[in-house]
Amino acid sequence: MSADEPPGFHPSLRNPTLPRIGLMMGDMTGIGPEICAKLLASGRLDDVARIVVVGDSRVLDLGCRDAGVERPRVEFMDLGNIDPGAIPRGDISPESGRPTGETLQHMTRMALAGEIDAICFAPLNKAALHRGGWKYPDEHQMFAAFTQHEGFFGEMNVIPQFSTFRVTSHVSLRKALDMVTPQRIESAVRLAHATLRANGIGQPRIGVAALNPHCGENGLFGDEEIRIIRPTVDALREQGIGCSGPVSSDVIFLKAMKGEFDGVVMMYHDQGQIATKLLGFNKGVTVTAGLKAVYTTPAHGTAFDIVGQGKADPSALEQAVRIAARLASSGRALLSPVGP
C-alpha cells in the first residue's frame, strides 16, 4: 500500500464484498503497463473488483506516462524488482522475463494464502520468460508447477459467444491421438462444465468435437467416435452434464457461433486454434482453468510494434479482470470440477 494514501479513502475499502483481484502488469517491454494504467484510470472496475497491483511501482508510472493518464488511486504491492529505465522496450528481454515470472510466483503465493482471490495478468512474452529462466512449455504449465497441481487442468479461451477447452494441447498430433481417452475427455468436459458455471452460466451447453473427418462417417474414417467419444459423452449426459457430441469439427464452431453451445471441447490443439484465431479470439480472454488459483489474461500479445504510443486498447484486459472476478466469486465450483 502506498504510504501517501489516507487509509479511510483507499479504493480497496470501497466495497469489501467485491473480490480482491491481483493485477500483474505483464512483461514491461510490451503494452502491459500502459493498458493497466489506462484501465485503472478509467474507473471501469470500481464496481467489479478490489484491485491490488503487484509489481514495481516505477512500471506503473511508466504505463501512466505512456497512456497519458494521471496515476490512479489504487492499492499497490511494490516488489521493487524491475527498473524500467534499465530495460529497453519493444523487444524480448531476459532481464524483464525473470522478474515477470517472480512476480507471478509471488502472486500465486498470495492467492494460495487467501490474500487475493484471483490473478489477472497483462500480456507476457513467452520467449522472455523462457530466457529469463522459467523453463516451462507455456505459462499454464508454469502455473501448475507454482500451485503444485497434479491431474487435469487446461487452457480456456473465452469470447462473448462461447468458450473453448482442449482434451490435449502442446503435444505432437500423433501423441494427441493416443491421449484421446475416455478419462481425458471426461476431465475436459467436467472442467468445461465447472468453469462455465463459475463464469455465470447456470446450465452450460457443451459441444464435444469429433476426432476424424465427418465425425468418422459411421466408422468408415476411424472409430474413435464410436469407441471412445460418444460413450463418454453419453455417460456424462446421464450424470446431468449438458454435453452433446461428437460433432464434426468443421461444423461445431458454426453451431457455437449460432448460439447452440456455451462451450466447445476440442480433441487437439489446432482443431481449436484454427477456428479461434479466425473468430477473433485474440480480442478475447485466456483462462488457466482447473488449478487451485485462478489466472486470467487477455489473449492478445505484448504488441511490441505499438509500445509506448498510448494507443493500445485495454478492453480485453478489462474482460480478463471481469472474468477473474466472476471465477473468484464462484471459486468453489472451479476447484471441484467433478460433479454435475
Q: What is the DSSP letter of 215?
A: G
Closest listed residue to residue 306, CA positions, set 36, 35, 72: 35
Pick the closer one to a second copy by CB: 42 or 161: 161
Pick the closer one to a second copy by CB: 174 or 332: 174
Pick the closer one to a second copy by CB: 173 or 235: 173
Pick the closer one to a second copy by CB: 248 or 286: 248
Is there a contact between 231 and 182 (Cβ–Cβ < 8 Å)? yes
Out of 43, 80, 133, 137, the residue judged to bind a second copy by CB under 8 A: 137
- Compute how many residues bind a second copy; rule: CB under 8 A: 37
Closest listed residue to residue 304, CA positions, set 92, 126, 14: 92
Q: Closest approach of Cβ 137 to a second copy, in Å?
A: 7
Distances from the Cα of 301 to the Cα of 65, 207, 281, angstroms: 21, 28, 12
Out of 30, 72, 216, 263, the residue judged to bind a second copy by CB under 8 A: 216
Out of 106, 130, 140, 269, the residue judged to bind a second copy by CB under 8 A: 269
Residues 173-192 that bind a second copy (CB under 8 A): 173-175, 177
Judged by CB under 8 A, the stretch of 23-31, 104-112, 232-240, 276-284 that binds a second copy is: 276-284
Residue type, 269: H
* Residues contacting 99, CB < 8 A, separation 6+: 56, 79, 81, 82, 132
Residues 77-116 that bind a second copy (CB under 8 A): none
Query: To the nearest 10°, the Cα dihedral for 120, 125, 128, 133?
Result: 40
Location of C-alpha cell 529469463: 132
Q: What is the DSSP letter of 112?
A: H
Judged by CB under 8 A, the stretch of 42-50, 84-92, 262-270, 327-335 that binds a second copy is: 262-270
Q: Does position 279 bind a second copy by CB under 8 A?
A: yes
Pick the closer one to a second copy by CB: 102 or 250: 250
Q: Does position 199 bind a second copy by CB under 8 A?
A: no
CB-side exposure of 324: number of CA atoms within 13 Å? 34
